[in-house]
Structure 1
Amino acid sequence: MDKPKILIIEDEEKIARVLELELTYEGYEVQKALDGLEGFRLYQKESWDLILLDVMLPGISGIEVLRRIRSNDPHTIVIMLTAKDSVEDKVSGLDLGANDYMTKPFQIEELLARIRASMRVHKQSVVGEFNQDWIIVGDLKLNEVTREVLRGEMSIELTPREFDLLAFLMSHSRQVLRREQLLNHVWGYDYYGDTNVIDVYIRYLRNKIDKPFHSPLIHTVRGVGYVLKESK
């Protein structure tokens, strides 16, 4: 199973480093940014389970970073960090969709407990949200009714044929599927074209659901076909 991913956006380098070390020790995959613009760039680049976001940042403020995140992402957990016990900061952050806040200085044990609690609540809400209409493999989710595809919190646009191919791969995750199987189920038994069409469409899918992300899900089994599964 992949490690939960946490992004730290904190301009005080010593605090950011301590958080990075503690969270890495706890088993999280961690990256950090020391200003708002760099933090938002890293947020856009990858999918995150949780963001620790300082309110007072150079570049753009933590409140502005949160506003940009929540403009199209209601799901990623955001815990605000503030150096002052300011009601205005807390209200602004919570109104914009922050999940929690911590006032500096804080005990690392309390922060770790808040992180675990936030992730637990988030996991329960995701399980409730993605019902029987969704197929889920790792952080990839496909809805057969609405024909939506999400990797992490990012929506992925697919052509009808790409969607059908991905749906078949996901519904048979961890099974090695021969090109002939894929051809028959996605293109139909009366299709007389070259099986190389499978390789072409697998490449299309990889460009959309694998290449922009950290870990590939579609794997080639040489001489046999393809399998969709989480990377170890």
Structure 2
Amino acid sequence: MRILLLEDEKDLGIAIKRSLLGQNYVVDWVESGQEGLYLLENPNINYNVGVFDWLLPDLSGIDLLKIIRAKNNHLPVLMLTAKDTMTDKITGLDAGADDYLIKPFEMLELFARIRALLRRNQEIKPQQLKVKNLILDYQTNTIKIELKLGKIEMIPLTNKEFNLLEFFMRHPQQILTRDQLLDQLWEIDSDIISNVVAAQIRLLRKKLSQYECDDLIETVYGLGYRLKLDN
């Protein structure tokens, strides 16, 4: 799941991004509304949730929200603000915000509100996603595997491995190119080396091989990678 975070308070932005990364989200953090608009207009990047601060330099979170709603962009958006009057809340909701969180707030509440927005998103209706014998639980952000005799074990994955396997599970049998994986699973400010995708898939395959799933992700030479459904 990819989140666009707009927050111009540097310490708060760092704290939110670090916390969301710990919840297995991919997070792009920018400090101005114009930067946020640029990313939202990039056709190669798809966000699942936006977390917008109300007061931003050059273009406020509210004005950005009005712009994207006018363009029929239905991205679920959580507004962050110190404005706590009823009038302010109504202004935010009328502009198209899906939820509203008053600063200061606890990270656990932020996580819960983001999960609620994701559940409302038409892309993610089920609480679980199952592909072959893999089970992704959106409530706990874990991936489990169903072994013989009905035994279920959790696969210990790093954040990047989790995001990579989740993306494959959401697109089974579909060839995913290196550029698609980079665009969806690596933050825009990442220091990316040329073979990072191949290296990450190699690590994921090694981990899956411990559960007799080492051939689950195949290389389609010259094109990309695919999660196989056939044996």
**Normalised TM-score (structure 1):** 0.54
* Change in 2 beyond 3 A, CA 1:230/1:119: farther
* Deviating 4+ runs (over 3 angstroms): 123-127, 209-216, 219-222, 225-231
How far the C-alpha of 1:73 sits from its partner, in A, is 3.4
How far the C-alpha of 1:211 sits from its partner, in A, is 10
Task: Answer yes or no: is 1:110 the counterpart of 2:123.
Answer: no
Distance 1:229 1:92 in 2: 45
Letter in 2 for 1:32: W
Question: Across the two proteins, how many residue pairs are aligned to each other?
Answer: 149
Aligned to 1:85, the other structure's residue is in SS state: coil
Residue ranges of structure 2 left out of the alignment (5+ in a row): 127-171, 186-196, 198-217
Letter in 2 for 1:11: D
* Change in 2 beyond 3 A, CA 1:44/1:124: closer
The equivalent residue for 1:17 is 14
The equivalent residue for 1:90 is 89
* Change in 2 beyond 3 A, CA 1:12/1:226: closer
Distance 1:229 1:71 in 2: 36
Q: Percent sequence identity over matched residues?
A: 36
**Normalised TM-score (structure 2):** 0.55
- Does the Cα contact within 8 Å between 1:175 and 1:227 map onto a contact in 2? no
Distance 1:175 1:14 in 2: 40
Higher relative contact order (CA 8 A, sep 6+): 2
* Change in 2 beyond 3 A, CA 1:80/1:175: closer
Residue ranges of structure 1 left out of the alignment (5+ in a row): 128-172, 177-205
* Change in 2 beyond 3 A, CA 1:64/1:212: farther
What is the CA RMSD across the aligned residues, in angstroms?
3.4
- Does the Cα contact within 8 Å between 1:55 and 1:89 map onto a contact in 2? no
Which structure has the larger Rg? 1
The equivalent residue for 1:29 is 26
- Does the Cα contact within 8 Å between 2:118 and 2:124 map onto a contact in 1? no
